[in-house]
């Protein structure tokens, strides 16, 4: 083999390593098992000059303060993503604090770029997520203080405070900017609005129902 060919092969190997990354999920989830005999195997921002970087670029203060839940859904999400904490850029992780009034709801929503793992600090939450078509399976659990639940990337999920007192949860997300799509807000509160003919057909209801829903104020609790 010529020296030129060897150089080409080395360059290709280096490039393949440089371009390698975790693949995007090919399904809703893949639950891990210890039995190795019966598994199913399934294969920004500009950067600040490092010379000017300080400890404050990696610091955020304020998650000890409760969010204002005096809104129609009774919850408030306080995010700490790359917009609030610049040091998160390129690190693929972020955090939120979620406060819930009694019977407060973090409405059905998705994070198009992140899996979420949530831990309850105070209160009792009814949580769940729905898988993709065609099964649309609902997975739910009632969580108490210290309990943890995972919402797979991109799936519709929610949290509802079923207790008589305030609840607090923290969640980590596998993206510096996970994004949030609140289902009701996106469908009925889009700007400009989706034609009521489209939504009436999709939901199999009278257009008057759609017109009523589109006339509501859709609260963003983020």
Sheet holding 94-100, edge to edge: 75-80, 94-100, 167-173, 116-122, 148-151
Per-residue confidence at 30, pLDDT binned at 50, 70, 90?
Answer: low
pTM over 0.85: no
Per-residue confidence at 9, pLDDT binned at 50, 70, 90?
Answer: very low
What's the mean pLDDT in 18-43? 50
DSSP string, the chain: --HHHHHHHHHHHHHHHHH--PPPPSSS-----S-TTSPPP----PPPPGGG--GGGG----TTSPP---STT-EEEEEESTTT-GGGTTT--EEEEEEE-TT-EEEEEE-TT--EEEEEEES-EEEEEEPPTTT--EEEEEE-TT-EEEE-TT-EEEEEE-SSS-EEEEEEESSSS---EEHHHHHHS-SSPPPHHHHHHHHTS-HHHHHHHHTS------
Residues 6+ apart with CB under 8 A from 84: 60
Distance, CA of 134 to CA of 132 (rounded, Å)? 6
Does 106 appear as a known binding residue? yes
Distances 155 to 28, 35, 98, 185 between C-alpha atoms, Å: 8, 27, 19, 16
Domain 22-179 has CATH 3.40.50.10210: no
What's the mean pLDDT in 47-75? 90
Does 111 appear as a known binding residue? yes
Domain boundaries, the chain: 22-179, 181-221
What average pLDDT does the chain have?
Answer: 85
**pLDDT tens profile 125-167:** 999 999 999 999 999 999 999 999 999 999 999 999 999 999 9
Nearest-Å Rg of the Cα atoms of the chain is 22
- Nearest alpha-carbon partner for 219 in 137, 115, 106: 106
17, pLDDT greater than 50: no
Which has more confidence, 199 or 28? 199
**pLDDT tens profile 173-193:** 999 889 999 999 999 999 999
pLDDT at 22: 46
What's the mean pLDDT in 79-98? 89
**pLDDT tens profile 37-50:** 655 554 466 777 77
Could you tell me the two tokens for 164? Answer: 């008589």
Does 164 appear as a known binding residue? no
């Amino acid at each position: 083999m010529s020296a030129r060919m060897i150089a080409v092969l080395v360059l290709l190997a280096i490039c393949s390593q440089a371009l390698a990354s975790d693949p995007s999920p090919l399904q809703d989830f893949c639950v891990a098992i210890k039995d190795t005999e019966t598994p199913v195997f399934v294969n920004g921002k500009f950067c600040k000059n490092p010379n000017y970087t300080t400890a404050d670029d990696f610091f955020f203060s304020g998650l000890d303060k409760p969010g204002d839940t005096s809104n129609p859904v009774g919850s408030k999400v306080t995010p700490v993503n790359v917009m609030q904490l610049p040091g998160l850029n390129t690190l693929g992780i972020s955090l939120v604090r979620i406060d819930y009034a009694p019977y407060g709801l973090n409405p059905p929503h998705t994070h198009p770029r992140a899996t979420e793992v949530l831990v309850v600090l105070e209160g009792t939450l009814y949580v769940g997520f729905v898988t993709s078509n065609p099964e649309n399976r609902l997975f739910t659990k009632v969580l108490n203080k210290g309990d943890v639940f995972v919402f797979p990337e991109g799936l519709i999920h929610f949290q509802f405070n079923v207790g008589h007192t305030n609840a607090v949860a923290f969640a980590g997300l596998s993206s510096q900017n996970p994004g949030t799509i609140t289902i009701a807000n996106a469908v009925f509160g889009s700007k400009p609005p989706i034609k009521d003919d489209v939504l009436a057909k999709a939901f199999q209801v009278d257009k008057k129902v759609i017109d009523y829903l589109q006339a509501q104020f859709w609260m963003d609790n983020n």
